[in-house]
Every structure is written in structure tokens, then in C-alpha cells.
Structure 1
Amino acid sequence: QICEIDYGMCSGDNGWRCTKWLSGPGPHTLTLETDTSRGWELTNLCDMLVPSIKRLKGVRWFLLCRDTHTAVKIDMKIAEMAERGLQLEELDVILTPIHSTTLQDFGRLDKFLSTCVAPNGSINITCTPDMIFRTTEHLELLADHPSWAGMLTQFASAAKGVKLPSGVAQGEAVPTVVLYRLPQVVFSSAETLYLGAGSEPPPAALLSHISDRSFPHVTTLDLGQAAAGVREDAVRRATDVKSLREVRFDIMARLPAVPVLFPLCLGACSQTGPLLHVHADCRHTAVSFDCVWSL
């Protein structure tokens, strides 16, 4: 059974209007299509997700609930769907950030997956381009929630952007759980690698993960505004990745600034690696322009 579902007619508090259509033996597959800015949140779908539906595609899972009322409402909706007997055999979910991700957001997603997806059901996670996997922050969640390993591993594989520290702050250390889990992760969809600053060398296990195997499709190395604090050894590893084509960094200075000084860490670029374009985004108050060189 195929039917177009109008977002305004069926979403949110209007979901009951579609309940009658969804009653009975079918449909078995529900594919949702809408523009990125609106998306189908879980609260929009509760009244439509009846037990007959076994395949659900196109759910946008907004990480970071915007207020306590929304969070409580989502928790109630998950419980309602579980009590109703929803057991999806296939689920395609799209992770979309609002501002950042929190412990509660991943816990809520895990609750939905564990209660509303069949034990042998398949889960496919994809990400919008602005969804960044923050390696230390996200893998550290597994210290208290080891059952989230599958979910976070899929998230890491689907993310278009990945952030890694190039080192650690003095007196700090990379959590043990991060070093243990990192070798199990391949950032197969990552196109941009963001390197953060660090005053002390990173653990060898973290540094060795910046490789062709772990980042098979990365094309851009982004040093951001922290370029001055990014360590050379991490940059050297990143510029050795065969698929890399571009290095980006920000300049916060009065313009025009002549000469434009490259971050010191770029002095570690491989002498034998591919030709790289160096892209400087120069910003000061309302003035902004781009500079591009080849390296």
C-alpha cells in the first residue's frame, strides 16, 4: 500500500487524523520525505506508528531536546509505542544536531531502539552534513553505557565530520575507554577531519588512528581557529592520508594582513604526499574573505 502523507495534516497533534488510514492489516512500510528544516520528529509520528508497520525510513532524530517539556513528551511517546507493540524490523534514522549532543539524547535514542525495534531488526544510521562525531566526548559515553557501542559505532561510521584532539592539555589524559574503543571504529563516511589543539603529545593509539584505513574518504583537514595550538605530529599524519586534498584554517586579524602567516603546524606537511590546497578563511568584524594557496 502506497500513500503520500501530508506533513501538516498528520504531524504533531494532528497525527490522529491518519490513525484511521493506518488501522487494519497494513501498511507495512512507512517512508517519510520532507525538507531538512522541518523533519519528522518522533512526537510527530506516535499516532501513526502502529504495530503493522515493520519498516520505517526517514525519521530525523534531533539530538538535543530544546526544552524539558519536549523531552518528557518524547519519553512518554516512546513508552506509548512500546506498549502498543511496535516492533520494527528495519529502521533508517537520520541524526540531526540542534546545537550539540547530550547524554540524555543518546539515552533516549537507545531506549527507542531497544524497545521499538525487534531483537533481530536492522538499524541504519545516517547523518546530516553538519553532524560531527566528537571522538573523545562521544566514545567516553561508553564508560557508563557500554550497551551503546553499536549505536555510537554506526554514528561514527555515518558522520561526515569527525573531530579528534591533536594532543592533550597539561595534566590531562585521554580516557581509557576512548583508547580501547577507537581501534574498533572506522570513519568510513568522514569527509572533514577537525583537529583540536593540545599542548602535550597525544597517546600513540590516538595518533596512529589518523590513517588511510580509519579515514578512507576524508578530503579536508580543518584546523579552525585553534590552528596555532594544533600539534605538528597530528598534522603530519593527517597530510599523509592519500585522499586528503585541502587544508583549512581561520585567521582572526585586521585585514588586509600582509603577509598571511601559515600556522606553524603546517611545516610538518609530508614532502611526498599529494598536492594540497591551503584555504585561509580571514575574519575580522564584518570583513571576510578567502585566500587559497597550493602546498
Structure 2
Amino acid sequence: MAASVAAESGPRRVGFVGAGRMAEAIAQGLIQAGKVEAQHVLASAPTDRNLCRFRALGCQTTHSNREVLQSCSLVFFATKPHILPAVLVEVAPVVTAEHIVVSVAAGVSLSTLEELLPPMARVLRVSPNLPCVVQEGAMVMARGRHVGSSEARLLRTLLEACGQCEEVPEAQVDVHTGLSGSGVAFVCAFSEALAEGAIKVGMPSGLAHRTAAQTLLGTAKMLLQKGQHPAQLRTDVCTPGGTTIYGLHALEQGGLRAAAMSSVEAATCRARELSRK
């Protein structure tokens, strides 16, 4: 069957409450992968500022959050976290047992989502990251009390259009935020530093940044496609007395490993703080 999917393989209509960058990335991934037709996507936002990007994809738009729930069985809530509770209270009267409600708001727990929606609401929580924009995201999902295996499988299948998606216990969602959500910034900082090292010893800036980014991309693909532990690939590159071992020694002297571990730990702790609030 084409992009207008049958009930067993995907929803006929998909809604987005909130039309920011992450909502657009997920919608674009679903459309490009043929999971749903653009005209069967409905997005809502208070103003036209972000909705214009959905219209450019061929999607339908509205300023009414309730209209999204009344038109779509699968709805992504992609508002800012501090706004989400009020939005859920607003739409709760039109949420039914037929809806699959998916929150991509960081720090809002499944228990909070379920408390603000009617009993038996089928709720899932998804932690995406920015590379979903180029369909190379790393995502995890956690299911609420009333979500069965079929709904979880459906959502995972849909989200794999935007990258890698795995189901985890909710306790691991904040860790994923620290590793993969914030990790995009950590990787960018490392890529920038690699490039600047090359610039320091004479490489033109544009070439240095392109080469650093391509090196990260190629390494990531090798790790994923070969299923190797990073230590194995590192060993393969590191010949006795060669250039790599000298560079690795410099990284160890600078405390790269400890700094990277601490950055993920700090970001995770902050995510947990926000969840408690």
C-alpha cells in the first residue's frame, strides 16, 4: 500500500500540536519515507510563524489544538515543556481511548501526562534529537500504563523514518537526553576542536571543518554497520609508533575521556532536575 497507510501499518492521519523544529523534522521524515501523505498531516500552533514550514511540506494547518485531536488518531505533542501541561488540560475533553498521544517534550513524565489526560489515555514519551532533521536521529521511547505492544510497535516503526528508535524504561529517557540530545552539542564541540587543530598546523578552515565532519560521519557509520565496540576500531587505527598513538596520548593528557563522561553525567542530572520540577 502507498503512503496512505492501512490501520495495521500506520495511521491515516497524523497530528502535531506544536510546530517547531522537532515537529517539522518528524513530519518530514514520515512524509519522505511514505509513512503518511502530506495532506494527511495536521499541525497546530498559536501563530503562523512555524506553520508556514508545514504548509511548505504540503501539510494542513490550524490554530486550534482541539481540531488536531478531533481529526487525527495519532498526535505528537511538541510544545515547549512548560507549556505542555496547559495544552493537555485544554485538549483533554476531546481525547478518547482511540487516540495515541505522543509527547516529545523533555522533562515531562509519563505520570504527569497521564494525570492530565482522561483515564485509559494511551500515552507514550519520546526523546528525539536534532539529527532527526536529516533523518539520522537517535530516539528512545517509553510507553505509559495503557499502551500495548501493537501501539508501541506502530510508533517505533513510524519513527524509524527519522533515524534509530528503541524502546526503553522511562528511567533511561533522561540519560538519553544527556547522551544524545545534549550530545549533539558535545560532538560539535569536538568536531570544531579537531578542525581547529588542523587549522593551527596549516589546513584551510573550510577544508578542515569539512574533513572533521566527514571523519565523524564515517566513523559513526563504521561503528553502526560493523557493530564494533569503539575500542576495537580505535585499535585498528592505532599502529605501533604511528601518528595515532601520539595523538591519543595528547588526548589522554588533556582528560578527554573524563571530560566527556562528566558532560553526559551533568546533562543527565539536569534533565532529571527538570523532570522533578
TM-score, with length taken from structure 1: 0.29
Q: Name the structure where helix makes up a greater proportion of residues.
A: 2
TM-score, with length taken from structure 2: 0.30
Specify which structure has the bigger relative contact order, considering alpha-carbon pairs within 8 angstroms and separated by 6 or more residues: 2
Larger Rg: 1
